[in-house]
Amino acid sequence: MSRSHLGRPLPASVSDFPLDESPYGVRGLAGNMRDWCLDLVSAEGQPLQDPVIDERVVIPNIPALTPEGVFAVTRGGSWMATERNTRSAARSTIRLGAIADSIGFRLARSYRPPGRV
């Protein structure tokens, strides 16, 4: 986050803050990059269509609206956020198609307990 180190705030390696790790091994949730999620909302904050979840693939279901009327949900903190906005559940939006140097994404897969297929 913006006050986690001296000098100018900049993105950091997830290994720079070893205490920022969840019980599941997820690192960097309290800062560095806000996570871009598949959730899409309207300018008024109303949820739009859910993504189509196939057995192996998640396909975003982008509605036939202009990009100005569609926003992607982002969660978590970022390297430029203050303490108040660094919770992993913190939610904000960004206009679909916009670019921000504080937003990234995570590649993830469904959890399967050991021994289960």
Residue 50's pLDDT band, with cuts at 50, 70 and 90, is low
Q: What are phi and psi of 89, to 5 degrees?
A: -90, 0
Between CA 9 and CA 114 the distance in angstroms is: 41
Question: Which pLDDT score, from 0 to 100, does residue 21 have?
Answer: 83
Torsion sign, CA atoms 99, 105, 107, 112:
negative
**Residue 86: alpha-carbon gap to chain centroid:** 12
Q: Answer yes or no: is pLDDT of 65 > 60.
A: no
Share of the chain above pLDDT 90, in %: 1
Residue 74 has pLDDT above 80, yes or no: yes
Closest among 81, 79, 92 to 28, alpha carbons compared:
79
- 5 versus 92: the higher-pLDDT residue is 92
- Residue 58 is predicted with a pLDDT of 64
Domain boundaries, the chain: 14-99
Q: When comparing pLDDT for 117 and 2, which is higher? A: 2
